[in-house]
Amino acid sequence: MKILAVSLLRLGDIIQQVPLLKGLREKNPQAEIHLLLNRQFANVERILEGVVDKYIFFDREALQKGMGEASYNILWSYTQVENLVQGLNQEAYDTAINLTHNKLSAYLIGALNIADKRGLYQEDGRFKGLSNRWIRYFNDRFSGNQKSLFHYVELLGNAFDIPVGPASALISQGSGTATRRSKLVLLQCLTSDKKKNWGLEKFFQLKRTIEISLVDYEVLVLGASFERDSLLKVFSEKDLLICDLFEARKHLQNAALLVTGDTSIKHMAAQAGTPIVEIAIGSSDPTKTAAYSTQSVVLKTAAPCAPCNHSQDCSQSSHICADDVTVEQVFGAVWDQLSGEKIAERNLHHQMERAVWSLFLDKNNSAVEPFYGGAAANLLEKVSINSLRENSAVWNAKTSLYRSWLAKATAALPAREVLATHRTFQSSDIAEMILCAQDILKSKMDDAGYFQAFVEALLSRFSQPVQIYDRVHAALQEVEELLTIRENFTHHLQTLSTEGAYYAKGIGQLPISGFEEAGKSVQRNLEDAEL
């Protein structure tokens, strides 16, 4: 069996995809796996040893020059792509997996003679490959600033049925506990986008604070050769650890902690099992692309403009999202990580929303139908019953609010038969639905995106009035299904939490000898059996 994986994104995305490639290898141990990637990232080969059998390079920079510079023949780029497609077809792949999900990769995979194409591809002038709910959710939520409840790796793992899980700390030989391998703290100060840079002066202050407070730790600044001059404006030469990707991985494997922004280095640290403190500012969206690790702490800005678009400049007069994260906050997270303190549980509502959406997205797969009890039990392993009770009122109130929005939108939707009689579309036909959508957006309460498809349907263009009914009706049906799952999940969660509370207060507190006495007391007495 031969598999072609396509990854035509940036370096950080390729490194982030390593768990997916390893999972693909684990699931298909006898397969021959080839990876198509941009030529400028050829140095990634050394950190993917044993995972990929063959690398094929797409010379994107040369192709773009060929299309834009007068010195190139106008057909040169076309000829290069044609040769690439012919070469790939000669490999006779059984399966192609698109890890990129942009138009370039879709057109390229669409041109290949491969029977089993997974993920986005183009065929007969249409985009196809959105074959299950997980891949549609990924396609809908990762194209812009839409919010996601799931990580990039997690979504693609579910979409392509590849076994993946967040990395955990490395285990020392012959020991059952994770150990720190050195007293080295690494700082990765610079990123590819200046909006995501916390600031060299802040990193310098953090370095001094760690060295003064934790005198047995050494703090060094990790950087690439092209970053040296920028780093020397604040740090001295002896503070720097300048190296390539392969050398950086070795340092990360030995480090006690990495403090970083949104970079490819954090993904390498996650895969090395190194604890991480990540500073998520600017265009960073940690829910989507944070380090995929159980040993990572993310410090997020509360600035209302974050996360912003990758392609746009900062819209503020000052870098307020960076200023919002203080040196004291970062040092507190460093202290917790190095002292081995338990990482605080994530927001309970976030965990509950993830459980609801997972049940919804799994419903599309006939082999994975919702099991509410199991989902509730899994959540109760992560959070306390007291925390659940404290948050239940807010959770239930939001469910009621969503129900009221759904009822209002459904009532405002004109009948399909009525719209079918209209030759042209009138805004008055959907005026009530537009007001409903405005209420939803203004409230900022739909943080899990239940009504996202509904709002987007109203923003779409239609050639015929009846088309808006089909789009909106499908979106509202999705909301109904989500809310039904939410209510069923809530019921099972309440049942299990009640049983857990009874256990904690009753049998769970009995000594072993108490079971004998309890057994005698619960024998049936027919004389006392009246209601």
8 A C-beta contact, residue 315 and residue 306: no
Over the range 399-433, which residues count as b (16 or more CB within 10 Å of their CB) and which as e? Answer: eeebeebbeebbebbbeeeebeeeeebeeebbeeb
Instruction: Please state the domain extents for the chain.
Output: 2-131, 184-339, 356-507
Are 270 and 290 a contacting pair, CB within 8 Å? no
Q: What is the pLDDT along the chain (531 residues), one digit of tens a residue?
A: 999 999 998 888 999 999 999 999 999 999 999 999 999 898 888 888 788 999 999 988 888 777 777 777 878 888 889 999 999 999 999 999 999 988 899 999 999 999 999 999 999 889 999 988 999 999 888 877 788 999 999 999 999 999 888 876 544 333 334 455 689 999 999 998 889 999 999 999 999 999 999 889 999 999 999 999 999 999 999 999 999 988 999 999 999 999 999 999 999 999 999 999 999 999 898 989 999 998 899 999 888 888 888 777 888 888 899 999 999 999 999 998 888 655 444 578 888 999 999 999 998 777 777 888 889 988 888 788 888 888 899 999 999 999 999 999 999 998 888 877 877 767 777 888 999 999 999 998 998 999 999 999 888 877 777 888 899 999 999 999 999 999 999 999 988 887 665 544 444 444 444 434 444 444 444 444 343
8 A C-beta contact, residue 55 and residue 40: no
Neighbours of 202 (CB within 10 A): 19
Residues 6+ positions from 310 with CB-CB distance below 8 Å: 193, 283
- The topology under which CATH files domain 2-131 is Rossmann fold (3.40.50)
Contact 189, 198 (CB under 8 A): yes
The DSSP letter of residue 423 is S
The highest-level CATH class for domain 184-339 is alpha beta
Q: Which tokens go with 235?
A: 């740090």
Residue 347 is encoded by which pair of tokens? Answer: 């927001």
Q: What is the dihedral of CA 294, 447, 310, 246, to 10 degrees?
A: 10
Coil, strand or helix: which one is 411?
A: helix
Strand 95-98 relative to strand 116-118: parallel, antiparallel, unpaired? parallel
Q: Let me know if the fold of 2-131 is the same as that of 184-339.
A: yes
Residue from 329, 359, 344, 296 nearest 493 by CA: 359
CB contact set of 485 (below 8 Å; sequence gap of 6+)? 356, 359, 360, 363, 370, 372
Please give the structure tokens belonging to residue 446.
């739909």
Which pairing describes strands 2-7 and 116-118: parallel, antiparallel, or unpaired? unpaired
> 448: which residues sit within 8 A by CB, 6+ positions away?
147, 149, 353, 356, 357
Residue of 417, 451, 416, 459 whose CA lies nearest to 434: 459
